[in-house]
């Protein structure tokens, strides 16, 4: 199982990174320019240090307003809880989460800068993409639905809704919603936790959950979640709107 997932994930990353080298080069240059721009007294050659300049480097992969792109592996950023986005930027910068272009891009950015970018994307709210038509049979979709909405007590798997919310929109400050994500992205993230390439602050509750899932569970969950229509209210509710079944280190700030 291990052998099958990791090489294919790495191969996928290599495949996706290679054609991006040129645009990433341009992106890094744009970011470096904006980082180095003087706070005042800009010359015509140095762009002002505005948020629009800072996030220009992100647009090729995350969309102009963080809405995501056609690439099924590049996640949407817009409207996710600010604390969640901030935690992810820190995780990429500090190596708790791995994706080489992101690790490289954020390597030297100060924490305050990352927080401002997180707040920026959290405040945007373009519509969610249309649901992905399921490519699996009804029995697999039903299995995904059961795991997400009820869990499986016999295997100690909690319902995903117990933390991600009954409408799957997440909760402030750091629990992301699970709708509007594509199946390959969801599978890769759950795989990352199962195999330790994605970790969150301890206690890493998602690692505990993902470790209990089989590959078949992950496929079913990814297919069902990505087939769901957008909820009417997409914003994550405020902190403390419901109690989590067990602690997540990422929520303690
Ligand atoms: C070369 C493409 C690329 C560029 C440029 C890029 N990203 Fe990413 N980003 C990704 C990919 C792919 C992922 C998912 C990686 C993974 O977990 O395997 C990601 C993940 C993220 C996440 C976590 C999303 C989530 O839901 O967990 C955040 C936040 C993020 N990027 C912010 C940014 C910001 C801010 C910039 C600009 C400074 C940026 N990214 C530039 C490709 C890119
Ligand atoms: C005990 C609470 C808890 C439970 C139960 C839980 N999650 Fe999570 N989940 C979290 C937290 C907290 C995060 C954010 C972790 C971080 O900061 O990286 C998260 C993040 C995620 C992400 C990453 C989203 C993104 O944009 O990258 C996915 C996917 C996910 N969870 C899926 C699930 C699924 C599927 C289940 C049910 C099988 C589940 N979660 C159950 C707390 C939980």
CA separation for the pair 241, 172 (Å, rounded): 9
Summarised one tens digit per residue, pLDDT across range 225-236 is: 999 998 888 899
Average pLDDT over residues 178-189: 95
Answer whether residue 205 shows pLDDT above 60: yes
Cβ contact 133:227 at 8 Å: yes
Give the tens place of pLDDT for each residue, 74-103. 999 999 999 999 999 999 999 999 999 999
Residue bearing the CA closest to ligand 1, atom 12: 74
The pLDDT tens digits for 124-150 are 999 888 898 899 999 999 999 999 999
* Residue 169, pLDDT above cutoff 60: yes
- The whole-number pLDDT of residue 200 equals 94
> Given this model, what pLDDT does residue 253 score?
53
Question: Is 30's C-beta closer than 6 angstroms to any atom of ligand 1?
Answer: no
Mean per-residue pLDDT, 7-25? 43
| Residue 5 near residue 191, CB atoms below 8 Å | yes
Query: Average of pLDDT values for 45-52?
Result: 74
In terms of Cβ atoms closer than 10 Å to its own Cβ (0-12, 13-18, 19+), residue 107 is exposed
Ligand 1 close to Cβ of residue 88 (< 6 A) = yes
Neighbours of 36 (CB within 10 A): 9
3-state secondary structure of 204: coil
What's the CA gap between 122 and 173, in Å, rounded? 11
Nearest one of 70, 15, 61 to 182, comparing CA atoms = 70
Compute, in degrees rounded to 10, the torsion defined by CA atoms 82, 85, 90, 96: 140
**Would you say residue 15 has pLDDT above 80?**
no
- Report yes or no on whether pTM surpasses 0.95: no
Instruction: Domains for the chain: give ranges and CATH numbers.
Output: 2-122 (1.10.760.10), 138-251 (1.10.760.10)
Q: Which of 17, 28, 58, 102 to mutate to test the pocket of ligand 1 (most atoms within 8 A of CB)?
A: 102
């Amino acid at each position: 199982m291990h052998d099958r997932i990791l090489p294919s994930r790495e191969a996928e990353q290599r495949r996706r990174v290679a054609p991006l080298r040129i645009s990433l080069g341009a992106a890094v240059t744009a970011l470096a320019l904006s980082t180095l721009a003087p706070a005042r007294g800009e010359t015509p050659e140095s762009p002002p240090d505005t948020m629009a300049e800072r996030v220009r480097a992100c647009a090729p992969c995350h969309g102009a307003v963080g809405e995501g792109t056609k690439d099924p592996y590049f996640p949407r950023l817009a409207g996710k809880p600010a604390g969640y986005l901030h935690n992810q930027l820190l995780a990429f910068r500090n190596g708790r989460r791995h994706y080489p272009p992101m690790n490289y891009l954020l390597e030297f950015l100060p924490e305050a800068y990352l927080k401002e970018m997180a707040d920026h994307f959290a405040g945007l709210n373009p519509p969610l993409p249309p649901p992905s038509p399921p490519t699996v049979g009804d029995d697999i979709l039903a299995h995904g639905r059961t795991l997400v909405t009820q869990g499986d007590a016999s295997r100690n798997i909690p319902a995903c809704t117990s933390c991600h919310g009954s409408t799957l929109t997440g909760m402030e400050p750091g629990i992301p919603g699970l709708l509007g994500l594509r199946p390959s992205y969801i599978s890769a993230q759950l795989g990352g936790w199962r195999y330790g390439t994605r970790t969150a602050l301890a206690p890493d509750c998602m690692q505990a959950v993902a470790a209990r899932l089989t590959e078949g569970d992950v496929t079913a969950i990814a297919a069902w979640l990505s087939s769901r229509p957008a909820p009417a209210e997409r914003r994550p509710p405020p902190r403390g709107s419901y109690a989590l079944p067990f602690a997540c280190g990422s929520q303690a700030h």
